[in-house]
Amino acid sequence: MYYKYDEKNGIHVPEPFKRVMTPMFMGDDDKIKESNFSVHFTEWEPGCEIDSHSHETGMEAMYCMEGCGVAQVDGKEYPFVPGSMIVAPPGIQHKIKNTGDQLLRVFCIFSPPVTGESLRQRALEAVEAAKK
């Protein structure tokens, strides 16, 4: 199979966790019959961040492609710069913030796979919880 990044497929998450998540190879793709991972890109504008969260049963790996930020994994803070990666096993809290002055572009892999719809739902639930 061949996949190409298409920003038109992006999931736009509003403030306070503003970012765009673009599914590439996801569990809701009708071409995927069986897979043990899924892939998407996430892009943050300067100053934007994701909420601190964990995944009950899945592992997430995030590789920094462009930009710079700060990543937290299990309560520890790390510089998040091109060539660096964080991995969050099941149950481990993690978050990323763009601390630079350009777009932060991150390649994300989930195992087991998630769907684009589940990405959207989790992000919007975090936005609603933050508003309360």
pLDDT band at 49 (very low <50, low <70, confident <90, very high): very high
Residue 5 backbone phi and psi in degrees, to 5: -55, 130
What's the token pair of residue 105? 């572009």
Residue 43 and residue 36: Cα distance in Å, rounded?
24
CA-to-CA separations, 9 to 42, 69, 94, in angstroms, rounded: 12, 24, 25
User: Which pLDDT score is estimated for 28?
Assistant: 75
50-65 average pLDDT score: 96
Buried residues in 67-89 as b, exposed as e (16+ CB within 10 A) = bbbbbbbeeeeeebeeeeebebe
Q: What is the pLDDT of residues 73-123, one digit of tens each?
A: 999 999 999 999 999 999 999 999 999 999 999 999 999 999 889 999 999
Q: What CATH number was assigned to the domain covering residues 19-27+35-131?
A: 2.60.120.10
User: Which pLDDT score is estimated for 45?
Assistant: 94
